Amino acid sequence: MPGTYLSIGEDKTTLCCHGEWTLWHLIAIKNALIDSEIPTKINKIDGSKITKMDSAGALVLQQFLYTLQQHQHQPLKLMAFEEAQLALLKLVTRPDQQWREIPRIARPNFLARLGLSTINYTVGFLNYLNFIGELTMIFLQLLRHPKRIPWRACVSVIESTGVMALPIIALLSFLIGVVLTYQMGLQLRNYGANIYIVDFLGISILREFAPLITAIIIAGRSGSAFTAQLGTMKIRQEIDALQTMGIAPAELLILPKIAALFFVLPLLTVWASLFGIFGGMVVSNSMLHVSYTDFLDRFYTAVSVKSYITGMIKAPVFGLIIASIGCYQGMQVTGSATSVGERTTISVVQSIFFIIVADALFSILFSTLKI
């Protein structure tokens, strides 16, 4: 029998408890109790060698004593326990009832979980709309007093979200153009219609891929940064300090981010369109033998300005979605660094989800209007 926590006294009727009966040693204690072989003559429990006990250890000991008493069919006498230990043992059991197993909480069924999730998502969406409404009122107040607009904060956000994002957007857009041209070019080459790669590539890049890919990159890069920044400031109580000084956090921290992305994302979309088309030109020249001159001549006649404008209409809307969701999730951070990570993840997922939803709605709208 393991002697770390339990041993039999010399009189063979006393069970001695040893060591620290605490939460830290709970697994070892339970293993010792499972492996123990208790003689049927045991009628006394000696706690003089217990060096430390907390409520977790007292609960395990009380459960063991209750089980032992049921098997021994005789009362057990506690000996040499300290008053604090006896108080813990009394605390974990009711005076009018012996120790019982804690009942398991029944897990809600599928419909209940679906209902709870629906309610939570609905409440979250309503809170988000309330957040947008408050920002709109503050924005209208700033328009009446332009001197209060934090121009330096706006320029700083434009630099971090726009200028610093140019290399990654250029690289990924170039690769998207390469991949699209390669995939579509393989099919067009089979029919001798190599030149039509310009039509497909130009329309797909300008109308869909440039604004969509740019928005997804910015959602992962800048939207998550907004959430992490605001969440960290909230944990450090910096936002509370601003409110104490009479400074509206939304005016200084949130609106500059939203305004900056609203302005920057269309410019980044133009940047992405240029490199996406350039990537397609390189592959068209090398694989489909469409020269740069022929590509540009065909692009000028086959791709209308309407396709470019259609893509540019989406960009500022995507910017508003990314910035508002990122700032909203940052303001929902509570308590710990774990909450910052969770809210950052939620921010990126929700931003990408609503970007794709908005893109689908734009497609339906443009199809209805025959644009």
pLDDT tens digits for 311-334? 899 999 999 999 999 999 999 888
Q: Would you tell me how many other CB atoms lie within 10 Å of the CB of residue 174? A: 19
Inter-residue contact 69 to 38 (CB < 8 Å): no
* Beta partners for residue 78, in sequence order: 45
**Segment 183-199 mean pLDDT:** 86
**Segment 276-283 mean pLDDT:** 93
Lowest mean pLDDT among 225-229, 246-250, 271-275: 246-250
What integer pLDDT is reported at residue 217 of this predicted model? 94
To the nearest whole number, what is the mean pLDDT of the chain? 86
For the chain, give every domain's residue range: 6-91, 144-369
Q: Please determine, looking at this structure, whether the domain spanning 6-91 carries the CATH number 3.30.750.
A: yes
Q: Among residues 322, 121, 131, which one has the least CA distance to residue 224? A: 322
Lowest mean pLDDT among 18-32, 178-192, 220-234, 274-288: 18-32
- pTM score, whole prediction: 0.69
Inter-residue contact 227 to 236 (CB < 8 Å): no
**Segment 144-160 mean pLDDT:** 88
